[in-house]
Amino acid sequence: SGDSAPLEEAMAVLQHHDAVSGTSRQLVANDYARLLAAGWRPGQVLLSNALARLSGSKEAFSICPELNISVCPLSQTSARFQVAIYNPLARKVDRMVRLPVSAGAFLVKDPSGHAVPSDVLLLPQPEGQKPSPELLFSASVPALGFSIYSVARVSLQNPKAHSPERIPQKSR
C-alpha cells in the first residue's frame, strides 16, 4: 500500500531556508535528498493505486523524474505504452508532451482513439554519441482531471525524424 506521509514529512523538513536556497552544508543537502527519495517511493505507490482506481485498470505505472534530461526507461524501451497526464489546475490545459523514445515512427492516439499530430526530433548529443530521438505531441487535459494518450511504434519505410540543422557562422 502507498503512503504520502513520508513525502509530506520530508517536504515539511525541506521548508527550512537552507533547503529552499541551497545554503546547507553538503552533508545536510545529502540528507535532504535522502529524505525526499525515501518519501518518493511510497508516494509513487499511492499515486499508482489512485490512477488504477480512476482508470479502472491495474498497471505497472512508471514516473520519469529525469524527463528534463530526456531519460525515461519505459518510453525509451517500449514499442507501445500509455501516457496518463494529470492536470492539477482548475481549468483545461493544452500541453506539449516530450518523451525520449527509441528510433522509429510513432502513432499517438488521444483518449477517444483519434490520432493526434506528432513529431520525432533527433536531438544533438556529444560527439561520438548517437542522436537521441524525442517524441513530441500536443495533449489536452481537463480541469482537475487526467487524459490517457496511447503511443505505439509503427513500421514505416522511411520514418521521418527532424534533426537540428547547423547554421554556418564565420569562424572566430
The footprint of another protein (CB under 8 A) covers 20-26, 47-48, 51-53, 55-64, 67-69, 72, 74-75, 78, 80-89, 93-97, 99, 117-119, 121, 124, 136-139, 141, 150, 162-167, 169-170, 172
Report the distance separating Cα 135 and Cα 122, nearest Å. Answer: 9
- As measured in angstroms, the least distance from the Cβ of 166 to another protein is 5
Nearer to another protein, 130 or 172 (CB): 172
- As measured in angstroms, the least distance from the Cβ of 88 to another protein is 5
Residue among 65, 2, 72, 66 nearest 39 (CA): 2
Q: Which residues pair with 99 in a beta bridge?
A: 135
Q: Which residues pair with 139 in a beta bridge?
A: 95
Nearer to another protein, 2 or 88 (CB): 88
Cell of 146: 487526467
Calculate Rg over the CA atoms of the chain.
20
- As measured in angstroms, the least distance from the Cβ of 16 to another protein is 13
- As measured in angstroms, the least distance from the Cβ of 46 to another protein is 12
- As measured in angstroms, the least distance from the Cβ of 12 to another protein is 17
Nearer to another protein, 38 or 44 (CB): 44
Walk across the sheet containing 118-123 and list its strands.
93-100, 132-141, 118-123
Cell of 171: 569562424
